[in-house]
Structure 1
Amino acid sequence: MPLSAAASAREILVRLHDVMAARTSAQAKLNQVADIIAEALDSEVCSIYLLREGVLELFATHGLEESAVHVTTLALGEGLVGTIAQNVETLNLDEAASHPDFAYRPETGEDRFHSFAGVPIIRRERSVGVLAVQHVEPRRYADIEIEALQTVAMVLSELIANADLIDESSAATTRIQSTATARVQGFKLVDGMGAGVAVYHQPRIVIEHTVAEDTEAERRRVYTAFDKMRDQIERMQAQAEFGVGGEHDEVLEMYKMFAYDEGWSRRINEAIDSGLTAEAAIERVQQRTRMRMRQIDDPLLRDRMHDLEDLSNRLIRIVSGRLGTAAQLGLREDTILIAKNLGPAELLEYDRRRLKGVVLEEGSLTAHVIIVARAMGVPVLGRAKDIKRLVAEGDKLLLDVGSEALFVRPTQAMEEAFEAKLALSQKRRAAFAALKGVAPETKDGHRVTVMVNAGLRDDVAALDLTGADGIGLFRTEFQFLVSATMPARERQQRLYRDVLDAAGDRPVVFRTVDIGGDKALPYLDHDEAGEEENPAMGWRALRLALEREGLMKAQARALIEAGAGRTLSVMFPMVSEPWEFDQARAIFEAQRGWLADRGKKLPTQIRYGAMLEVPALAEVLDLLLPKLNFLSIGTNDLTQFLFAADRAHPKLAVRYDWLSPAILRFLARVSGQARAANVPVAVCGEMGGRPLEALALIGLGIDRLSITPAAVGPIKAMVRSLDRAAVMVQMADWLARPPADMRATLSDWAAAQGVELD
């Protein structure tokens, strides 16, 4: 075997080029390909399987029984070959029979072969076949041999496409031809409503020529494309319409960092060295990245790799001269954009006047494009399965992210209902906006404090838009989640100071980082925690921060310096026992002392609080309360811990009610203890943002809520229509003798009292 992957692949590609140019049948070409690969890799078997009518058929072989060709078939997911095709993954085994998916086919005569390696043949991002090699002696194939196989598989995809051997009927993504109305379910990423025609972000550029005639010419094409792509990104960042200094700016900085990554350009160069065209080299590197993405469990790291996907698509379009994304062709009317995933820079290219919404096949709350979409005010629905099958270009669409739904080819009645809901939503927003200068005071004169939860610098604008009393929970971890490396202390300090400046004289409560568990950071080593089956209850939040004392010291100093000359409120998440609070507070106090010794300006006061999310803390609350300036109850985590029910589980999410007597009694006990100790208590979480649940909380004596900005208006309206004393009497009675259905009982009482809940 040659000494480099590039040399071995180039040797094979030179011979394949002659095969592809020959005037022979497709079957003869595939037979020759199998012979060439077997010889080049010194392998006793080389087999080519193609996807036909939903099954993988042995199309050509060197080394197996010839009589098995066109006879042996495997379903997707069946055997090693079926597993490779279904998962679009590479297998490299020194003992094939030891793999749990191994399936023996006696007609092939493969029982004497031990080693096995196989790679998917990919066309338009899906497997259309498998290329496999086998050897009598047990051995793993070297990395350079696997890379050579993967490169050859790209050329094979071109060969079988040109020979019309790709069975399009087997494609899972074949779009249905229909004029019927359809509803596509999704996941709320950026709330809002919009109507428009379906426009696909980009037609996939299919690479027609994979084998290079002139390697140096291909290299020059890639260098030129890199220069153009980087210039585009620089211009986009300079022209962003929604201002500078927000998290979206940091996102674009990181996106730019990927564009200038030397490792990425080096891998493309190595693929060109192997004999591929510029387009094929970019796609070859990207295929390898996609396979890596499928093996990564960390959703945050996968989100970062979507940026690289975006850049690869952009580079292929530039190098091929086909710049035809929907953005570059121009939107002609109100549009709902559809894409598998979008990069942040790609979204910026669209005309915001015509872009009414985005629907993604994938997408997540932590993806960079979501930060940019939120800044642009564009509603986004994610995880929309079957979208390509159900929606054709030009279809009329109604997007209602609040209902987590996309309506395809709606009827006139559906359009009228949508327009009525949109008009009502706008009317209600206007009514709620009119309340922004009005205090949330009950009918009997009790003032309720209504604050907002935030996590981005831009979220502070919600204070002026809603008239909220302050920020009751600023999630500091978002800056850590969108960064490729640990944010420097100076960068953290700048964010915290900007938030305090924007809030003015309104209070801001900073929660220290809640990372770890299901919010793992790619640049932190999590080996000590191991594989966590229950990440929400694992090595996260304060537990992780106390162990990573350097991380917490840096954040403490950044917060203290940012709060110089004003009151700083700091809250520690997921406190389970008082000593954890003591240790965290001691770290902050040590940093305050360190800064004082150096003559630095300090906050006039540091107020320390804890989040009660772990039920165990309630049992030792009497020991902790004397040390606290305030207490916040995190209802999202608390309820799942109380019920031992994962709130993300679809069956459990609706099984346990926030208005259960178990939760309400727990909250009543905790808030009563806090009031007796003269410690302010607030509820942070989704529970406080729902009018009926907030009504129950006020009935328990809780009069501080920290909620999403969108909920401020409805909560203010509810508070102003409520007699607090009356609901407190009723709640005491209901908790002593719980009704069969607390939710229905509370709803009926509210309706009878004229409390505004909707």
Structure 2
Amino acid sequence: MSAAAAARLILIQLHEVMASRLHAQGKLNQVVDIIGNALDSEVCSIYLLREGMLELFATRGLNQAAVHVTRLGVGEGLTGTIAQNIETLNLAEAATHPEFQYRPETGEEKFHSFAGVPIVRRERAIGVLTVQHTDPRRYEEIEIEALQTVAMVLAELIHNAGLVDGEAAGDDASTLSGQELMTGLQLVKGLGRGQAVFHQPRIVIEQTVAEDTEAERQRLYLAFDKMREQIDQMANQAEFGVEGEHEQVLETYKMFAYDEGWSRRINEAIDSGLTAEAAIERVQQRTRMRMREIQDPLLADRMHDLEDLANRLLRIVSGQLGTAASSGLRGDSILIAKNLGPAELLEYDKRRLKGVVLEEGSLTAHVVIVARAMGIPVLGRVRNARGMIRDGDELLLDGDIGQLAIRPNQAVLDAFDARYARNREKQAVYARMRDVEPFTSDGTRIEVMINAGLRDDIPMLSLSGADGIGLFRTEFQFLVSAALPQRDRQARLYRDVLEAAGDKPVIFRTVDIGGDKSLPYLRVETGREDENPAMGWRALRLALEREGLLKVQARALLEAAAGRTLNVMFPLVSEPWEFYQARAVFERQLAFLHGQKRKLPEAIHYGVMLEVPALAEMLDQLLPELSFISIGTNDLTQFLFAADRANPKLAERYDWVSPSILRFLARVVATTAGHDVKLGVCGEMGGRRLEALALLGLGFRRLSITPAAVGPIKELVSRINLAELQRDMAGWIASPPVDMRSTLRAWAEQRGMEVE
């Protein structure tokens, strides 16, 4: 028997119970008997959330005296764990689970097997449905899916009967007043001011059990057709001004919309006896549970895309209100959402959309790539934003520092407006630096380049007046693709970048994937999960193992650079032999193209990223082979201090201008002196004015930074007397002050420089 058939048998009987005149308790008493009989399970119990505790409300098989007596906290015991994590448990031996708790009043000591599913309404657990058996056995997948379907129908019965607590405290923003400040993750930088608009009203499913499954199926097919038509139309009409990876994002999104596996799962849920709306929600609940288990951030982002499509399909099939985009924005607005799909963002009028606030979201999310292309600031990971904000509240979104002001008072409004005005004034000053070459006041030319990774970044080369692209992250194309990008597609991107850059140099970093940037279509077998992915099987280590991956990229880069100079940089090099092996891959592809009489690059310059401290000890061996070295200060810092930069407790603990880092960098500068090798920094450190001051004082003459930092760094360079700075820095390195940051700040302030 299939899962759908098993669930359908139970739902037919449940439908009769729900339609009866029995009171709620009587209905639940019958429900546990129906489920127990259908699954041949000796115990079936329902726990409901009342006064913040999970109360045993009905049972078949446990002591009846325990009903309304046994209570568990959310997170307590197996049942509490299911409610807290909104997850399913399926155990052959319940007592082996670390959260197992024995309640003697229930008489459950003779039962070994245990399975439980959450009863979910509006994305929160309002109860738990459990089954138990004396024999140690795991319940079949068919039985678990039947339980999950039944739990969904029970949620409707329980809610309508008013048996559980109301909405969780804090979910209702109607009583909120006064100013609130919230923080989040900077996803797209920028400032935005506007009225709060909620992206999506909650959709209430009025009926879960189907009267006619074929009629429900037809409603679903029509909704799918309409949804796919909408997605195609949006993808065709989207206007960004510049081609880019956001177009690939939309193609991947469309792939989900046409995914047969997804539509088949919804059809199977209809087969079990659910309405079209309930079937979509049933599959969506399963997706949410899977999302909670996913550690891979990229795969989690793709699951969010699927959730976005499910929401769209649910709105269409139910005929309920659409998103706020359907009624249009009435003025300057900040959009509030749990999460957002790329196509949903495109529905909004970008002239009035001034920012986006997400309760979830990540730097690699598809919606972030699209928002960046649209020039809309985005703040993510703002916990309980939908609970703290009311529709129409005045909001100030500061994507530069990751802060959101809700219902700001006049003083905060004035300060924000003043900052916004100052930013505009500063941007005007920095804009005037666009065509000014960055010379220090005593005549030393500094190279100021940009970091890039998307086609959207390329126009910033001319807009900022940068000297070139010091780091082009090639992995972004891999991260937004549904499958490994083909060679011709890679070559097209690289060729477009080189053509857009014109005479300015572009340094392509070979693909840096693996670790925390894993790809679902490229599984790496390490034998175990990396406990510290930053130090794991990633970047050049992975590329050398998967030589086919590096070989395809090498050919694509060589073909794209035909008739031009190609600059190639290898990431995470630890020892010279890794560089030699990687260069050999390129040389073999070069020989192949030569044999094919293909046009070749005029010159090829090879370089490395110095991120692993061990490489500094071997630079004397490698320098004759290199054209340039770029120091990745983000990774280098965490390796030097053994401090995971993803750990919030350590994020602010170690200072980029601490003497230990500056001494290490000074030693690298000294090692490369006298060699025809360009030395630069391509980490975030170079884009901060005070840190850039320290780097220039150490002897660095090339900085590769974010496009927004080019103007500020150029302006700083013009104020520096480099000879004086280097002399003082040498003294500080030899005899470090107590607080290097304060010392640098005071030095700059004495000379009228703003460094913060």
Aligned residue number for residue 133 of structure 2: 135
Letter in 1 for 2:163: L
| 2:250 counterpart of 1:214 | no
**How much does 1:648 deviate?**
2.7
- Tell me which of 519, 540, 543 is aligned to 2:538: 540
Alpha-carbon shift at residue 169 of structure 1 (Å): 4.9
* Alpha-carbon distance in structure 2 between the residues aligned to 1:529 and 1:671: 39
Matches within 5 A, 1:157-176: 157-170=155-168, 173-175=171-173
Cα deviation for residue 672 of structure 1 reads 2.2
- Distance in 1 (CA, whole Å) between partners of 2:695 and 2:297 is 35
The secondary structure found in structure 2 opposite 1:447 is coil
1:664 pairs, out of 662, 665, 670, with 662
Q: Please name the residue that 1:14 is paired with.
A: 12
SS at match of 1:275: coil
Question: Which residue matches 2:447?
Answer: 449
Answering whether residue 469 of structure 2 is matched by residue 467 of structure 1, we say no
Deviates more, 1:523-532 or 1:359-368: 523-532
Report the counterpart of residue 385 of structure 2 in structure 1: 387
Find 1:400's aligned residue among 398, 401, 406: 398
Q: Does residue 111 of structure 1 match 2:135? A: no
1:548-563 equivalences under 5 Å are: 548-563=546-561
Alpha-carbon distance in 1 for matches of 2:370, 2:70: 50
Which of 512, 525, 550 lines up with 1:514 in the alignment? 512
- 2:428 matched to 1:430? yes
SS in structure 1 opposite 2:673? helix
After TM superposition, give the deviation of residue 354 of structure 1 in Å: 1.2
The Cα shift of 1:229 comes to 0.4
C-alpha distance after superposition, 1:275-312 (max 9, x if no partner): 11000111111111111111111111101110000000
Match for residue 251 of structure 1?
A: 249
**Number of the residue aligned with 2:365:** 367
| 1:615 CA displacement | 0.6
How much has 1:756 moved relative to structure 2?
4.3
- Name the stretch that deviates more: 150-159 or 513-522: 513-522
Deviations 1:409-461 (A, max 9, x none): 11111111110001111111111011101111111111100000011111011
Aligned residue type for 2:689 = P
Which residue does 1:566 correspond to in 2? 564
C-alpha displacement of 1:166: 3.0
* CA distance in structure 1 between the partners assigned to 2:316 and 2:34 by the alignment: 34
Q: Could you list the runs of 5+ residues in structure 1 that have no partner in the other structure?
A: none
Measure, in 2, the Cα distance between the counterparts of 1:697 and 1:176.
51
Alignment of 1:748 with 2:746, yes or no, is yes
Q: CA deviation at 1:655?
A: 2.3
After superposition, give the CA deviation of every residue in 1:612-647 in whole Å (9 maximum; x if it has no partner): 111111111000000001111111111111111222
Q: Distance in 1 between matches of 2:647 and 2:305?
A: 29
Counterpart position of 2:575:
577
Return the offset for 1:171: 5.3
2:632: which partner in 1? 634
Which residue of structure 1 lines up, in the alignment, with residue 653 of structure 2? 655
Matching residue's letter, 2:649: K
Q: Residue 236 of structure 2 corresponds to which residue in structure 1?
A: 238
What is the CA–CA distance in structure 1 between the aligned matches of 2:560 and 2:629, rounded to whole Å? 23
The yes-or-no answer on 1:178 pairing with 2:181 is no
Aligned to 1:25: 23
Offset at 1:269? 0.7
Give runs of aligned pairs for residues 409-428 of structure 1, distance below 5 A: 409-428=407-426
Contact 1:43 1:133 in 2 (8 A): yes
**Counterpart code for 1:588:** F
2:221 to 220, 223, 244: 223
SS at match of 1:513: coil
Amino acid at match of 1:442: T
- For 1:97, the equivalent position in structure 2 comes to 95
CA contact (8 A) 2:170 2:388 kept: no
Q: How does 1:74-93 map to 2 (within 5 A)?
A: 74-93=72-91
Residue identity in the other structure for 2:460: A
2:338/2:386 contact within 8 Å kept: no
- Displacement of 1:511 in angstroms is 0.3
Q: In the alignment, is the contact (CA less than 8 A) between 1:51 and 1:170 conserved in 2?
A: no
**8 Å contact from structure 1 (residues 198, 337) kept in 2:** yes
What code does the residue aligned with 2:192 have? G
What SS class does the counterpart of residue 736 from structure 2 fall into?
Answer: coil
In structure 2, the residue matched to 1:199 is 197
TM-score normalised by structure 2 residue count: 0.99
* Deviation of 1:583 (Å): 0.3
Distance in 2 (CA, whole Å) between partners of 1:180 and 1:628 is 60
Q: What is residue 591 of structure 2 aligned with on the other side?
A: 593
Contact 2:526 2:537 in 1 (8 A): no
Aligned-residue Cα RMSD (Å) equals 1.2
Ranges of 4+ aligned residues in structure 1 off by more than 6 Å: none
The answer to whether the 8 Å contact 2:298/2:519 transfers is: yes
CA displacement 1:737-756 (0-9 Å, x = unmatched): 22222211122112222334
User: 1:69 — aligned with what?
Assistant: 67
In structure 1, the partner of 2:476 is 478
Rounded Cα–Cα distance in structure 2 between residues aligned with 1:388 and 1:155? 26
Q: Is the 8 Å Cα contact of residues 627 and 676 (structure 2) preserved in structure 1?
A: no
Deviations 1:455-499 (A, max 9, x none): 111101111111000000000111111112111111111111111
Letter of the structure 1 residue corresponding to residue 179 of structure 2: T
Q: What's the secondary structure of 1:338's corresponding residue? A: strand
Whether contact under 8 Å (1:611, 1:631) holds in the other structure is yes
Aligned to 1:304: 302
Deviation at 1:705, TM superposition (A): 0.4
Alignment identity in percent?
Answer: 70
Q: C-alpha separation between the residues in 1 aligned to 2:307 and 2:384?
A: 21
Verify the 8 A CA contact 1:64 1:108 in the aligned structure 2: yes
* Cα distance in 2 for residues equivalent to 1:652 and 1:39: 54
- Is the Cα contact below 8 Å between 1:717 and 1:756 reproduced in 2? no
3-state SS of paired residue (2:336): strand
SS at match of 1:71: coil
The one of 38, 53, 56 aligned to 1:55: 53
* SS of equivalent to 1:430: helix
Once the two structures are overlaid, the 10-residue window that deviates more, 693-702 or 220-229, is: 693-702
Range 415-424 or range 134-143, more displaced? 134-143
The CA distance in 1 between the partners of 2:527 and 2:708, in whole Å, is: 37
C-alpha displacement at 1:250, in angstroms? 0.3
SS of equivalent residue, structure 1 residue 710: helix
Letter in 1 for 2:4: A
Q: Deviation of residue 119 (structure 1)? A: 0.5
SS of match in other structure, 1:527: coil
1:697 aligns with 2:695: yes
Task: Give 2:314's aligned amino acid.
Answer: I
Q: Is this contact kept in 2: 1:395–1:409, CA < 8 A?
A: yes
Deviation for aligned residue 1:120 = 0.5
How far 1:173 moved relative to its partner?
3.4
1:458 aligns with 2:421: no
Residue type at the aligned position of 2:396: L
Q: Is the 8 A contact 2:242 2:455 kept in 1?
A: no
Per-residue Cα deviation, 1:584-617 (whole angstroms, up to 9, x for no partner): 0000000111111111111111110001111111
Change (3 A) 1:319 1:169: closer
Task: State which drifts further: 240-249 or 625-634.
Answer: 240-249
For each residue in 1:137-185, what CA deviation from the matched residue of structure 2 results, as whole angstroms up to 9, or x when unmatched? 1111111111110000010001111111231154563447221110011
SS at match of 1:399: strand
Decide whether the 8 Å contact of 1:114 with 1:136 is kept in 2: yes
C-alpha distance in 2, partners of 1:259/1:205? 20
Contact kept in structure 2, 1:53 and 1:169, CA below 8 Å: no
AA aligned to 1:404 is G
Alignment match, 1:318: 316
Q: Verify the 8 A CA contact 2:566 2:603 in the aligned structure 1.
A: yes
Name the amino acid aligned to 2:54: L
Which residue identity lines up with residue 206 of structure 1 in the other structure? V
Find out whether 1:709 has 2:707 as its counterpart: yes
SS of 2:549's partner is helix
| Alpha-carbon distance between aligned partners in 2 of 1:686 and 1:594, rounded to the nearest angstrom | 38
Aligned residues: 756
**Does the 8 Å contact 1:340/1:361 carry over to 2?**
yes
Task: Report SS of the residue matched to 1:528.
Answer: coil
Could you tell me whether the CA contact under 8 Å between 2:121 and 2:155 is conserved in 1? yes
What is the TM-score with the length of structure 1 in the denominator? Answer: 0.98
